[in-house]
Structure 1
Amino acid sequence: MTESTEGRPSLEVCLSPALLHLYDVKNSIVVIIDVLRATSTICTALYNGAAKVIPVASVAECVNIGKQLGAITAGERDGKIAEGLEYGNSPFEYPRDFVEGKVLVLTTTNGTKLLHMAKDAIQIVTGSFPNLSAVCDYLVAQGKNVILGCAAWKDRVNMEDTLFAGAVVSRIRDHFNVNCDSALAAQTLYNLAKDDLFGFMQQASHYQRLARYGLEKDIRYCLTPDGANVLPLLRDGELVNAPMC
């Protein structure tokens, strides 16, 4: 979508990776959103001093790069630590005394897939509630077209990523041209849920999936704003902690 007659950049929400081909990625900043739990874990690791996070699509690639770099290899498939990897996708696995100064190689079910799909974007950043303010401040400061890309769940729209997209739209829409029904729908959903995100999420499929593994603490953290308020920015295939604008 091009800029409006008011000269404002566009703000759009892509609710699933299966829909990304419908959006003008090449002329936009893309925010990768995988609230439960990839993008929450990424910002937490960088907030706690990780040197960088390398997102990869497959477990085999994760293991190989980890061996080459002497890095932490981590990731999940369907909510559980992937076979062959050392660590999972919980933000609580990456405190400062463990991750500071280290490289984390990460593969996840949904988030890393979308990140690679958006490779032609002007810029790629990752967003989740723990770094909500950093993402919003950055997007306003850049003044470019934005696509909020939800990682979803195996291409099916999910609740938590839509809620985060709605939170961003709610905060920054006055700086953008919002002519996008999915953005308006996401904001409407967020407005319904914002007073109790954790309670609202209990009806969601991914909440129920992770709760079966006893991960309610992870879910609550991943829905709490600004606990790890840094900006992960993709540079040369690596996510680094970008200077705040």
Structure 2
Amino acid sequence: MKPSLYTCLSPALLHLYDVSNSVVVIIDVLRATSTIATALNNGASAVIPVDSVVECIRIGKELNSITAGERDGQVAEGLQYGNSPFEYPQSFIGGQTLVLTTTNGTKLLHMAHKNGAKQIITGSFPNISRVCDYLLAQNTNVVLACAAWKDKVNIEDTLFAGAVISRLKSHFELACDASQMAESLYHTAQNDLYEFMKERNATHYHRLTKYHLEKDIRYCLTNDGAPSLPFYSEGRLINLS
């Protein structure tokens, strides 16, 4: 019997899914989970995801770590760095611990943990192949959890869920209409995800282009530029070898 695969399109819907027997994939394509994958791929020892700026600053001081994060697409007040993957080259992040807070993704990760998720990993286009390989190897139920934008469904996270489903659907029972919808959207967009976001007036596309972050968007929509596997354990994300 095949394991089940569900897609949760918004954190506001997470309570509808039984995560206790599932691998939960936290998806925040623009830009949290893309940045996490990049930092770990470039040698960060760990990423500690926190859900508030105050907690980020506290832990950063306690561990003498890099503190980073954003609110509404910009560097959060009181933090050293932002949420762009280009801020974390190997020469800077190698061997360092990054304490990170974001508007949507890190909050959803903590929600999944509090709801008793069996396992938590993070996914994005830069590490899509590692994510898919891991899910195949686990052979257990999966919840693709989209961070969305302040509980409102967004295009980019749904596209990533659809891309994963497109690769894995023969190995899983697609157990909800949201999974079917995500895959259909991805097949419509797959030839050029960036142009699809632009043509459809995606809200986060406009939010980031306002800050001249087109380079970030293109990177975050490109496959396998940061092939790490961020795995949540004991309060931190590590690169699972």
Cα separation, 2, equivalents of 1:179 and 1:122: 18
Q: Which residue of 1 aligns with 2:119?
A: 123
Q: Which residue of 1 aligns with 2:183?
A: 187
Q: What does 1:1-245 align with in structure 2 at a 5 Å threshold?
A: 7-119=1-113, 120-202=116-198, 203-243=201-241
Q: Which residue of 2 aligns with 1:4?
A: none
Cα separation, 2, equivalents of 1:68 and 1:179: 43
Q: Which amino acid is the alignment partner of residue 168 of structure 1?
A: V
1:179 shift after superposition: 2.5
Q: Deviations over 1:7-41 (max 9, x none)?
A: 11000100000000000111111000000000000
Q: Which amino acid is the alignment partner of residue 103 of structure 1?
A: T
TM-score calculated relative to the size of structure 1:
0.96
- Kindly tell me the number of residue pairs found equivalent between the two proteins: 237
RMSD over aligned Cα atoms: 0.4
Q: Which amino acid is the alignment partner of residue 208 of structure 1?
A: H
Q: Deviations over 1:100-156 (max 9, x none)?
A: 000000000000110000001110000000000000000000000000000000000
1:193 shift after superposition: 0.2
Cα separation, 2, equivalents of 1:107 and 1:183: 28
SS of aligned partner of 2:174: coil
The answer to which of 170-179 and 143-152 deviates more is 170-179
1:65 shift after superposition: 0.4
Cα separation, 2, equivalents of 1:196 and 1:63: 38
Q: Which amino acid is the alignment partner of residue 191 of structure 1?
A: H
Seq. identity, %: 68
1:180 shift after superposition: 1.1
Cα separation, 1, equivalents of 2:101 and 2:14: 20
SS of aligned partner of 1:109: coil
Cα separation, 1, equivalents of 2:228 and 2:90: 14
Q: Which amino acid is the alignment partner of residue 6 of structure 2?
A: E
Q: Which runs of 4+ in 1 moved over 6 A?
A: none
SS of aligned partner of 1:101: coil
**Runs of at least 5 residues in structure 2 that lack an aligned partner in the other structure:** none
